[in-house]
Amino acid sequence: MANSNKYISHILVKGLKNDFVSVLNWLKEIYSSLNAFASLIESEEESELMMMPLNVLKGGLYSRNKEIAITTAKIFTKLMDEFTSLETANQLWKWYITPNNGLDGTIHLLQTHNKPKVAFELMASIGRNNLTEIFTERCKGYKSYWSIIQSLILMFIKRLDKDIITYWVNVARTETEVDCHMLSVLCEIWLSLPQFIEKDAETANHTLILLKRSARRGNWALQLFALGNMFRLLKVFALSKNHYAPIIYKAITFSLMENYQVLEIREFVISNFITLFNEHNKIPMVILVDPFIKQIQLSDSINFAYNTIDFKFFIKIIRDPKLNIKNVIQVLDIFARIVLNDTLFIGIAKDSFIEIIKKRMPDESIKGYIDKYVKVATLALYELAKNWLLHNRSYSKKLHYENKKNEQVEDMKAKCIVEVLECINEYGDEETKSIFKEEITDIYKKVKRISKAEYKPLMTLINLLQDDTILTSGKIKEEKNEIRALPPIPESRGKEIIHKKQLNRSSITDRIKNALVPINTTSIPDTIKNAPIEGQLVLYDRVESDINKRALKDIERVRKRKAQREIKVILL
């Protein structure tokens, strides 16, 4: 115990070479014979000698080892009951509140080892009638004052120490700076003892102002803390039908609208709302749904940065039987845009879209929207079909490679659009089916004018109609013939044509290359006009020498240009 007890204090804090077993056994021996230990202290006449054993043991409150700290706290707690002299008890109290003694050690134990029950029992045992003084005067000097109160608030609520709780509420009312621990204390008091907050409207309003201010600050960690406490209040108040529940509900919604671009806040708020709606199905969702959807529409639903939690919330919305038809159409429109324009969430948007159609299709307002959507979706499918045909007709390897990158994305889009249209055709009425058939037939004709190739997603919808007349109708058949066959060249035309090569009429390709348009024969000398054909090449040396060879080449060039123009007209 020499040298101001430094060696023993060192052992209690750090152990014997980091070994605390022997130290713990020593403390247990003291605890088991605490009666004799208290008598030894009381036998000392001088106060300094009386407090020396306490100074030896206080190092245990600062120990790194949790068991050492708890055992030391228990020794001090029980020691107060063992004292028979009131004077000795007063000496212990004075020693306890002296700086760097018992109270500081108790706060260290609380903050280091998170043992609020042990710390509170020690304070209550030594403080007894002076407990209010500890928390209104002695502890207030600590920088972490509200953190200490937050750790011990539940203990005070169980004891119903009205004077101390009222003091904290009054202090919080005068605070202008937001402290997260103070907010937590106020919310805990409001949840457990609402009479202390609601007895004065000013106190309740001030608490809400602090929560709202914290939820709107730039520090998103503080925002999440404030929003978490607001959700705690809302869950309890919604069950008890507290008149502050709607106010808190709207405050959280407003905070979400202000910070919807911050993913952490949006995910936190929406996930808590989903849990809240699952636990309390009587809470109206429309208060949240209307501004949330409006915010997405203002941000352009195509470019909105969606997340998985958003679709969980959308699914919760569409499965709510109390949701009005206006909100259903708004959500349906969001899904429709995602199916047509997005790639990341197209699958879940398609499934949700189909779910709404199956449940709400009989509604007249839904039907009106679906009829319009069929036209937009078929037009999107037509654009995908054109892109597909363009890729297939490309002979450039480089272009084919670049197109291949988007092929899977476009196939996925086409597949989702087809599934949605199939569902619409299945659950729609006769008018919707008629519109569906008309639109599908129309884009089928347009595709066939471009190429004879068959686009599988489109053919899936054609087969769904079960109408063979679409494929065999006269109009489509004529158009197909115009595309697949070129008109034959008249035989008489060959007699009026000068061939530069041997004429080959066996294939359409050669006809296109060699077919020439007749020219006015009156401008050609008889020697050329009556030249023999017989399927053989007419050589230029057989032409009379008075014909300029250069003029003859110009004539052939003009003929070929006219033939090419006619071929283009036929293809169009």
Instruction: Look at residue 449 and tell me if it is in a domain.
Output: yes
Q: How far is CA 493 from the centre of its chain?
A: 71
Residues 267 and 199 both lie in one domain: yes
Alpha-carbon distance values, 424 to 84, 213, 283, 330, 486 (Å): 89, 48, 33, 18, 40
Residue 150 is assigned to a structural domain of this protein: no
> What are the counts of helices (DSSP H) followed by strands (DSSP E) for the chain?
31, 0
Residues of the chain with pLDDT under 50: 2, 394-399, 401, 474-525, 527-546, 570-571
Q: 450 exposed, middle or buried (CB, 10 Å; 0-12, 13-18, 19+)?
A: middle
Reported as a single tens digit per residue, the pLDDT across 358-387 is 888 778 888 888 989 999 999 999 988 888
- Asked whether residue 162 falls in the same domain as residue 253, the answer is yes
SS3 540: helix
Measured in whole angstroms, how far is the alpha carbon of residue 110 from the centre of its chain?
39
Query: pTM score > 0.95 for this model?
Result: no
CA–CA gap between residue 96 and residue 93 (Å, rounded): 5
Residue finishing a domain among 250, 283, 316: 283
Q: How many domains does the chain have?
A: 5
Q: 136 and 4, same structural domain?
A: yes
What gap in Å lies between CA 507 and CA 316, rounded to an integer? 65
Residues 6+ apart with CB under 8 A from 31: 71, 74, 75, 78
Same domain flag for 130 and 60: yes
Residue type, 263: L
pLDDT digit string, tens, across residues 296-330: 888 765 567 888 899 999 999 888 888 888 888 98
Cα angle 181, 187, 189 (rounded to 5 degrees) comes to 105
Q: Residue 423 is encoded by which pair of tokens?
A: 């569902």
Could you tell me if residue 564 is inside a domain? yes
- Give the per-residue pLDDT at 566: 62
Whose CA is closest to 146, among 191, 176, 180? Answer: 180
Pair (17, 122) in one structural domain: yes
Q: Which long-range contacts (CB under 8 A, 24 or more apart) does 12-17 make?
A: 12/57, 12/59, 12/60, 12/62, 12/63, 12/68, 12/72, 13/59, 13/62, 13/63, 13/64, 14/64, 15/64, 15/65, 15/68
Give domain status of residue 370, yes or no: no
Give strand ranges (E) for 112-189.
none
The residue behind tokens 């958003």 is 310
Residue 368 lies in a domain: no
Same domain, 180 and 271: yes
Q: Are 343 and 412 within 8 A, CB to CB?
A: yes
Distance between CA atoms of residues 422 and 216, nearest Å: 46
* Most distant pair of Cα atoms in the chain: their distance: 154
Q: Which two tokens stand for residue 433?
A: 């089916």
Q: Is 19 helix (H, G, I), strand (E, B) or coil?
A: strand
Residues 82 and 200 reside in one and the same domain:
no
**Whether 10 and 136 share a structural domain:** yes
**Residue 350: which domain range?**
284-360
Task: Give the integer Cα–Cα distance in Å for 379 and 438.
Answer: 12
Query: Do 263 and 291 fall within a single domain?
Result: no
Q: Are 16 and 109 in a shared domain?
A: yes
CA contacts within 13 A on the Cβ side of 506: 3
Cα radius of gyration rounded to whole Å, the chain: 45
Domain boundary among 231, 256, 283: 283
- Measured over the CA atoms of residue 320, residue 323, residue 325 and residue 328, the dihedral's sign is negative
278 found inside a domain: yes
Residue at which a domain ends, from 221, 253, 283: 283
Q: Is residue 148 part of a domain?
A: no
Residues 129, 163, single domain; the answer is no
Whole-angstrom distance, CA of residue 120 vs CA of residue 143: 19
Summarised one tens digit per residue, pLDDT across range 14-39 is: 888 888 999 999 999 999 998 888 88
* Phi-psi label, residue 23: left if phi above 0, alpha if psi -120 to 50, beta otherwise: alpha
Q: How far is CA 8 from the centre of its chain?
A: 57
State whether 123 and 175 are in the same domain. no
Q: Let me know if residue 129 belongs to a domain.
A: yes
First to last CA, the chain: 110
